[in-house]
């Protein structure tokens, strides 16, 4: 039943999946607490420009997509703070512009592009050793940033004014959070696809929020649930011969529906 | 620090938002160790003044100095209790965790004892494990005061701290703030609509209505004319507080 674990592509997919699941679960706690779930969708869509550019130039798509996503995150951050445009509008404008630019760039590419399709919908077969290396390197950097600045990121999420009065930078930690969110989203794209990646940013932390009594347990459960959803979603996609991204997201959504029903039941007892 | 040393100096302060004047030519100084009340009608610029003192807003013209430093530099010397804390109450975080975010520098056990002591001082010794979002308005306000006094602060700014608090808890809070002022020499700035509190509690008052209407000892400067200028036809509600 688990023979497939000996397959190299499955091992790469599992390793990349677990690394990104930890990051997505952790970042998702902040994203859900700040009610900025739309940012994952926006950054993922905008990163298509990076993928298209890389494919046209013959470069590795993941690093270019990370660079474009970081620029997008910085642009969203600046528009939010320097103009009267609201956060969701800023994300909406940049997300669709990035997607549109990606589509225009891909118009110049001749023929079928399997790499592009794997970025759009996610494909465990498409995770190469070079992708795994990029995921590991950036994954470790994001993990260390999250671990080192946990208190600051939590403080600026719960009470930005209070954090500022206790000596924290008003904008620095928000920019850091946007940046780690951007990198995390792009690292998950090969597994889940541009279209579905934002779901994993919100599903585990939303389930965790239902049953957690402290921020520590909220974060821990969010990470654990994210890993469970990715690993079992990958197994299901292999056993049922279904696309990995869609299977992971649907498995997570099913868990969310069950958890919500259980939460309602417990509350009404 | 002596009573006469100004710890806050505001000079010719102006603030405009999109050509709308919110504060106009405000100048005053606050002595170290004093209790200054700030009164004025809604829209008088009280909260904007507080935000400028905290360094959250910058003046359009004029200067604000906290012990000779810009507010952005001196902000860690100020404890602040906002009137409303915009917090998503569905986020699971305990009172202990919330206070620990602010108690950052010391060791874990020292931080925990700081948190316990602060909760004890505001009369909430047994709520450390409660979820912040489940607290009543009054408990919430006292937790905010507990956070403001976690570290020794030179200045405490309270924006209507008794909002949503019952009479008994209100007395506990004001007694505690008075103790902080008298025993630790903390300078207190208090925004309040309650003139009883202003008269009994404050050593100085500034009356604000976009510009400075009065500044001085409450019983000397809060007159019927001043109240009339600030509150217009609603001033009658406050007249029983004034002799003059």
Contacts with B, A 162-181, CB within 8 Å: 162-167
Q: In angstroms, what CA-CA distances link A106 with A58, A68, A182, B177?
A: 13, 16, 22, 66
Count of pairs with CB atoms under 8 A, one residue in A, one in B:
61
B85 in contact with A, Cβ within 8 Å: yes
pLDDT at A190: 85
Q: Which tokens is B3 given?
A: 């009573």
Q: What is the mean pLDDT of each run of 10 residues along chain B (244 residues)?
A: 75 92 95 94 92 95 96 94 84 96 79 90 90 88 89 90 77 85 93 87 93 92 85 65 58
Q: CATH number of the domain at B64, please.
A: 3.40.50.300
Q: Which tokens is A175 given?
A: 């920019």
Residue B74 lies in a domain: yes
pLDDT at B134: 92
Q: Are the CB atoms for B28 and B11 separated by under 8 Å?
A: no
Q: Which tokens is B139 given?
A: 């408990």
Q: What are phi and psi of A170, to 5 degrees?
A: -65, -40
Residue B148 lies in a domain: no
* HSE-up of residue A213 (Cα within 13 Å, Cβ side): 4
Q: Enumerate residues 6+ apart whose C-beta is below 8 A from A206.
A: A32, A256
Q: Are the Cβ atoms of A159 and B131 closer than 8 angstroms?
A: no
Total H helices, total E strands in chain A: 12, 0
> Could you give the angle at the alpha carbon of B93 between the alpha carbons of B90 and B94, nearest 5°?
125
Q: Enumerate residues 6+ apart whose C-beta is below 8 A from B63.
A: B9, B10, B11, B12, B13
What total number of domains does chain B contain? 1
Distance from CA of B18 to the nearest CA of A (A): 12
Q: What are phi and psi of B96, to 5 degrees?
A: -60, -50
pLDDT at B2: 45
Residue B121 lies in a domain: no
Q: What value of ipTM does the predicted structure carry?
A: 0.89
Q: Are the Cβ atoms of B87 and A164 closer than 8 angstroms?
A: no
**Tokens 């701290």 sit on residue:** B161
Q: Are the CB atoms for A131 and A190 separated by under 8 Å?
A: yes
Residue B48 lies in a domain: yes
Domains observed in chain A? 3-197 (1.10.3470.10)
Q: Are the CB atoms for B65 and B8 separated by under 8 Å?
A: yes
Task: Give the chain B residue whose CA is nearest to the CA of A156.
Answer: B101
Residue B212 lies in a domain: yes
Q: In angstroms, what CA-CA distances link A242 with A12, A44, A235, A239?
A: 18, 22, 10, 8
List chain A residues with pLDDT less than 70. Answer: none
Q: Are the CB atoms for B235 and B227 separated by under 8 Å?
A: yes
**Does residue B42 sit in helix, strand or coil?**
coil
Q: Enumerate residues 6+ apart whose C-beta is below 8 A from B127.
A: B95, B119, B135, B139, B143
Residue B139 lies in a domain: no
Q: Which of B54, B76, B91 sits opposite A158 (nearest CB)?
A: B91
Supply the pTM of this predicted model.
0.90
Q: Which tokens is B159 given?
A: 């924006």
Question: From the candidates B18, B84, B92, which should be mutated to test the interface with A, based on the most A CB atoms within 10 A?
Answer: B92
Three-state SS string across A10-28, please? HHHHHHHHHHHHHHHHHHH
Q: Are the Cβ atoms of B92 and A166 closer than 8 angstroms?
A: no
Residue B28 lies in a domain: yes
Distance from CA of B41 to the nearest CA of A (A): 24
Q: Are the CB atoms for A14 and A5 separated by under 8 Å?
A: yes
Q: Which residues of A touch B92 (CB under 8 A)?
A: 209, 212-215, 217-218
Q: In angstroms, what CA-CA distances link B215 with B9, B82, B204, B219?
A: 14, 23, 7, 11
Q: Where are the alpha helices (DSSP H) in chain A?
A: 8-33, 38-57, 61-82, 87-107, 114-121, 129-148, 150-158, 160-165, 172-192, 197-211, 215-239, 244-267
Q: Are the CB atoms for A148 and A121 separated by under 8 Å?
A: no
Range of the domain at B234: 6-86+154-241
Give CA–CA dist A51/A61, Å, rounded.
5
Residue B160 lies in a domain: yes
Q: Are the CB atoms for A191 and A17 separated by under 8 Å?
A: yes
The overall longest dimension of chain A from CA atoms, in Å, is: 61
């Amino acid at each position: 039943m688990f023979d497939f674990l000996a397959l190299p592509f499955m091992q790469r997919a599992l390793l990349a999946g677990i690394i990104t699941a930890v990051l997505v679960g952790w970042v998702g706690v902040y994203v859900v607490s700040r009610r900025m779930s739309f940012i994952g969708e926006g950054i993922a869509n905008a990163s298509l420009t990076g993928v298209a550019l890389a494919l046209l130039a013959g470069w590795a798509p993941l690093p270019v997509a990370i660079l474009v996503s970081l620029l997008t995150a910085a642009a969203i951050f600046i528009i939010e703070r320097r103009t009267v445009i609201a956060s969701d509008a800023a994300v909406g404008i940049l997300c669709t512009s990035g997607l549109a630019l990606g589509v225009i760039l891909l118009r110049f590419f001749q023929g079928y592009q399997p790499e592009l399709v794997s970025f759009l919908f996610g494909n465990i077969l498409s995770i190469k050793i070079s992708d795994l290396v990029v995921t590991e390197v950036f994954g470790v950097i994001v993990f260390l940033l999250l671990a080192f600045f946990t208190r600051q990121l939590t403080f600026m999420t719960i009470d930005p004014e209070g954090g500022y009065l206790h000596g924290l930078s008003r904008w620095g930690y928000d920019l850091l959070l946007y940046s780690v969110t951007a990198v995390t989203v792009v690292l998950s794209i090969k597994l889940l696809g541009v279209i579905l990646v934002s779901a994993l940013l919100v599903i585990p932390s939303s389930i965790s929020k239902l049953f957690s009594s402290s921020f520590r347990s909220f974060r821990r459960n969010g990470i654990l649930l994210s890993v469970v959803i990715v690993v079992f979603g990958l197994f299901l996609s292999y056993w049922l011969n279904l696309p990995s991204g869609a299977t992971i997201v649907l498995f997570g959504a099913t868990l969310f529906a069950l958890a919500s029903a259980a939460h309602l039941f417990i509350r009404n007892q | 620090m002596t009573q006469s040393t100004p710890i806050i100096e505001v000079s010719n302060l102006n603030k405009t938002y999109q050509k709308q004047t919110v504060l106009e030519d405000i100048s005053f100084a606050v002595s170290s160790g004093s209790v200054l009340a700030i009164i004025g009608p809604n829209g008088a610029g009280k909260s904007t003044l507080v935000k400028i003192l905290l360094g959250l807003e910058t003046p359009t013209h004029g200067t604000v100095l906290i012990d000779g430093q810009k507010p952005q530099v001196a902000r860690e010397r100020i404890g602040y209790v906002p009137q409303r804390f915009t917090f998503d109450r569905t986020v699971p975080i305990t009172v202990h965790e919330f206070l620990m975010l602010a108690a950052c520098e010391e060791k874990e056990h020292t931080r925990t004892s700081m948190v316990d002591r602060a909760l004890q001082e505001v009369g909430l010794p047994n709520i450390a494990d409660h979820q912040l979002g489940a607290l009543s308005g009054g408990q919430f306000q006292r937790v905010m005061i507990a956070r403001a006094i976690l570290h020794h602060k030179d200045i405490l700014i309270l924006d209507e701290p008794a909002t949503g608090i019952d009479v008994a808890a209100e007395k506990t809070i004001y007694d505690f703030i008075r103790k902080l002022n008298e025993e630790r020499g903390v300078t207190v700035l208090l925004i309040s609509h309650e003139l009883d509190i202003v008269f009994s509690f404050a050593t100085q008052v500034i009356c604000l209505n976009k510009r400075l209407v009065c500044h001085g000892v409450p019983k000397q400067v809060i007159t019927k004319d001043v109240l009339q200028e600030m509150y217009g036809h609603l001033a009658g509600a406050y007249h029983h507080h004034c002799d003059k």
